Amino acid sequence: MNDATPPNRCRIVLIAPSGVPVDRITAAFDGGDVASLILPENGMDEASFQAFAERIVPAAQAAGVAVIIAGDTRIAGRVQADGIHVEVSKAELAETIEHFQAKMTVGAGGAKTRDDALELGEARPDYIFFGRFGYDNKPEPHPRNLSMGEWWAQMIQIPCIVEAGSDLASVETVAATGAEFVALSSAVFADGVDPKVAIARANALLDETAPRLED
pLDDT at residue 113, as a whole number: 97
Domain presence at residue 215: no
Q: What burial class does residue 110 get, using C-beta atoms within 10 Å of its C-beta: 0-12 exposed, 13-18 middle, 19+ buried?
A: middle
Sequence-separated (6 or more) residues with CB below 8 Å from residue 181: 10, 11, 12, 13, 35, 36, 127, 159, 160, 161, 162
Range list of H helices, 22-142: 22-28, 46-62, 73-78, 90-100, 114-121
Domain presence at residue 178: yes
Tens of pLDDT, residue by residue over 5-39, are 789 999 999 999 999 999 999 999 999 999 999 99
For the chain, what is the domain count? Answer: 1
Domain presence at residue 214: no
**Degrees, nearest 5: CA angle 62-68-69:** 120
Domain presence at residue 3: no
Domain presence at residue 40: yes
* Rounded distance between C-alpha atoms, residue 205 and residue 75, angstroms: 35
Containing structural domain, residue 147 = 11-209
Domain presence at residue 2: no
The pTM is what? 0.97
pLDDT at residue 215, as a whole number: 61
pLDDT at residue 206, as a whole number: 98
Confidence of residue 63 (pLDDT cuts 50, 70, 90): very high
CATH number at residue 32: 3.20.20.70
Tens of pLDDT, residue by residue over 122-161, are 999 999 999 999 999 999 999 999 999 999 999 999 999 9
Burial 72-103 (b: 16+ CB within 10 A, else e): bbebbeebebbbbbbbbeeeebbebbeebbee
